[in-house]
């Protein structure tokens, strides 16, 4: 009797511990975003309770994990859905935008310290300024100036082609007016925007900014401008040091996605086309002409990357990565579903094009995985959850086996659903 009671007590103890494990949450990982030095990944972690649907108001934990060592830093918990814009201030801060401000002209931003987790709401007072995003660790904005002098300090006059020098205003020139698009940068902690370049245009020839991509050294800016009517998108290069603007001779009917070469001298631009995509390769933005290539097939929204110390570059399309050789003009698949396995959302490629991060869903929650695009070695940076680890313990396995045996003999000889 004593042994029977002892055994029953042990089984009940194991069962209680197993029930505690079953009630532990699993985790869903979203929006992995690489730091500029490719050493860390910021992401959202959402706790999911068993058998409960995920609500849009579910609290989200902002955290980062290291690519090289087992180091994880929890920063803050947010109750409103947000978008991670990127890392700024030499990877010391992470900028976010709240979902409720997506459609506002000048949304408020949330900056979170990657060191202490301290967060601060940033509200801008000037109207008419719009957010472009975080590109290359720089927060970029633009605004349309309704009435500006015909010649603006630091502004550019756009001819049909060719390089353009900055026009310094003369002392007594007439103050004619027209519109202009002004690109602005903002540094966390600064009380005002810093003007980058002002590009005047006339009422008959309006402009809109599609995107801006700074070079790795911060000197050159690739500026995609949407032209009037059906003229498409033209790519201009602005030199911050000499304050000169050059037309790259790249134009497309669709938005352009740009990647700079590691030495900040060449670039590639990709645009979606009706019969596939257009690819432009410019080895030296200061001289020469781009090489234009086109591919047949379904329209694809490729995002380009130019890895360091590589002659070829990468093209990201959803969860597929291709390596393109600009000499042979051949694209070969590097990553697809076979190497990655299940993927939640889209993969995130590091700024240098060397690594890919993504959330891999499993029965016990997501894994945050990283893969080298050179060796294709894959490893999980974060396990699915504590629940998954505890379910592998001997005590849980014994209790689960006992539950299965009882169900098998007492409830129709059928394994419990989900076990």
What are the average pLDDT values for consecutive 10-residue runs of the chain, which has 419 residues?
47 53 71 95 86 70 90 91 93 90 73 94 80 93 73 43 33 54 89 89 83 94 90 92 91 92 91 83 88 74 81 82 79 78 85 90 79 86 62 54 55 51
Q: Beta partners for 332?
A: 323
Q: Beta partners for 380?
A: 369
Task: Let me know if residue 410 belongs to a domain.
Answer: no
Query: Could you tell me the residue range of the domain that residue 198 belongs to?
Result: 124-256
Q: What is the pLDDT of residue 213?
A: 96
- H/E run at residue 388: helix 386-391
pTM, full prediction: 0.79
The structure tokens 């694809």 sit at 300
What is the distance, to the nearest Å, from the Cα of residue 418 to the centroid of all Cα atoms in its chain? 35
Q: What is the pLDDT of residue 361?
A: 79
Task: Let me know if residue 400 belongs to a domain.
Answer: no
Q: Which residue from 127, 303, 144 is spatially nearest to 213, judged by alpha carbons?
A: 303
For the purposes of burial, counting CB atoms within 10 Å of the CB of 200, is it exposed (0-12), middle (13-18) or buried (19 or more)? buried
Task: Let me know if residue 272 belongs to a domain.
Answer: no
Q: What are the backbone angles phi and psi of residue 396, rounded to the nearest 5°?
A: -65, -40
Q: Rounded to an integer, what distance in angstroms lies between the CA atom of residue 362 and that of residue 384?
A: 8
User: Are 192 and 163 in contact, with CB atoms under 8 Å apart?
Assistant: no
Distances (CA, A) of 85 to 79, 109, 135, 344: 17, 9, 9, 19
Task: Let me know if residue 45 belongs to a domain.
Answer: no
Task: Let me know if residue 237 belongs to a domain.
Answer: yes
3-state secondary structure of 226: strand
Task: Let me know if residue 403 belongs to a domain.
Answer: no
The number of domains in the chain is 1
Q: Which residue from 215, 263, 216 is spatially nearest to 238, judged by alpha carbons?
A: 215
User: Are 108 and 124 in contact, with CB atoms under 8 Å apart?
Assistant: yes
Count of CB atoms within 10 A of residue 350's CB? 22
Q: What are the backbone angles phi and psi of residue 158, rounded to the nearest 5°?
A: -95, 110
Angle, CA 264 vertex, CA 40 and CA 214 arms, to 5°: 65
Q: What is the pLDDT of residue 196?
A: 93
Task: Let me know if residue 69 belongs to a domain.
Answer: no
Q: Rounded to an integer, what distance in angstroms lies between the CA atom of residue 87 and that of residue 111?
A: 10
User: Are 71 and 51 in contact, with CB atoms under 8 Å apart?
Assistant: no
Task: Let me know if residue 134 belongs to a domain.
Answer: yes
Q: State both tokens at 83.
A: 């978008």
Q: Which residue from 408, 395, 339, 333 is spatially nearest to 371, judged by alpha carbons?
A: 339
């Amino acid at each position: 009797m004593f042994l029977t009671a002892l055994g029953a007590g042990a089984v009940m103890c194991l069962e209680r511990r197993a029930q505690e494990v079953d009630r532990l949450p699993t985790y869903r990982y979203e929006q992995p975003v690489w730091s500029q030095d490719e050493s860390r990944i910021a992401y959202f972690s959402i706790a999911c309770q068993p058998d409960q649907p995920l609500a849009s108001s579910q609290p989200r934990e902002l955290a980062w994990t290291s690519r090289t060592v087992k180091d994880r830093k929890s920063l803050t918990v947010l109750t409103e859905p947000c978008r991670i814009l990127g890392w700024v201030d030499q990877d010391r801060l992470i900028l976010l935008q709240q979902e409720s401000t997506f459609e506002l002209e000048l949304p408020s931003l949330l900056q979170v310290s990657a060191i202490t987790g301290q967060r601060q709401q940033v509200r801008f007072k000037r109207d008419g300024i719009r957010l472009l995003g975080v590109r290359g660790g720089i927060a970029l904005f633009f605004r349309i100036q309704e009435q500006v002098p015909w010649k603006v300090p630091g502004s550019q006059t756009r001819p049909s082609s060719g390089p353009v020098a900055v026009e310094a205003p003369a002392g007594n020139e007439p103050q004619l007016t027209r519109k202009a698009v002004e690109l602005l940068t903002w540094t966390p902690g600064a009380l005002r925007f810093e003007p980058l370049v002002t590009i005047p245009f006339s009422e008959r020839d309006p402009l809109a900014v599609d995107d801006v991509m700074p070079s790795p050294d911060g000197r050159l800016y690739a500026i995609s401008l949407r032209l009037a009517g059906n003229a498409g998108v033209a790519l201009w290069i602005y030199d911050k040091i000499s304050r000169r603007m050059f037309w790259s001779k790249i134009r497309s009917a669709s938005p352009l996605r740009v990647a700079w070469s590691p030495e900040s001298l060449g670039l590639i631009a990709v645009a979606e086309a009706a019969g596939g995509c257009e690819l432009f390769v410019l080895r030296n933005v200061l001289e020469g002409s781009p090489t234009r290539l086109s591919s047949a097939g379904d329209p694809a929204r490729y995002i380009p990357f130019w890895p360091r110390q590589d002659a070829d570059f990468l093209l990201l399309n959803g969860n597929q990565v291709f390596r393109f050789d600009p000499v042979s003009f051949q694209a070969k698949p590097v990553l697809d579903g076979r190497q990655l396995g299940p993927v939640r959302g889209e993969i995130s490629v590091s700024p240098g094009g060397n690594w890919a991060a993504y959330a891999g869903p499993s029965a016990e929650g997501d894994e945050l995985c990283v893969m080298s695009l050179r060796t294709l070695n894959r490893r999980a940076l974060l396990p699915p959850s504590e629940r998954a680890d505890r379910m592998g313990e001997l005590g849980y396995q014994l209790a689960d086996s006992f539950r299965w045996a009882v169900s098998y003999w007492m409830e129709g000889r059928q394994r419990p659903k989900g076990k």
